[in-house]
Amino acid sequence: MQRIVRNQVLDTATAKIVKKVTSGIFGDPKGYEETLYITDKGTYFLYTNGGAESKYTEEKITLKYKPYAQKWLEENK
């Protein structure tokens, strides 16, 4: 998935996965995934997606600053 956010191209195909968290199994309407990525330039972003009854009902990419990324990693050990 690729999005342009604040004039930056954020692409899950070219960025490196830092950590992925899943809840449920594939096809679970309440299941979801959160994946933290980092680009070659050091930009962090969070990819989220989930089932129709989850907190992420559609695919989304959100730009995240380093302090948020570090906090997210601590919360998802």
Report the pLDDT value the prediction gives residue 33, as an integer from 0 to 100: 96
Q: Give pLDDT tens digits along the chain (77 positions).
A: 999 888 888 999 999 999 999 999 888 999 999 999 999 999 999 999 999 999 999 999 999 999 999 999 999 98
Q: Are 52 and 29 in contact (CB under 8 A)?
A: yes
Report the pLDDT value the prediction gives residue 25, as an integer from 0 to 100: 84
Report the pLDDT value the prediction gives residue 14, as an integer from 0 to 100: 96
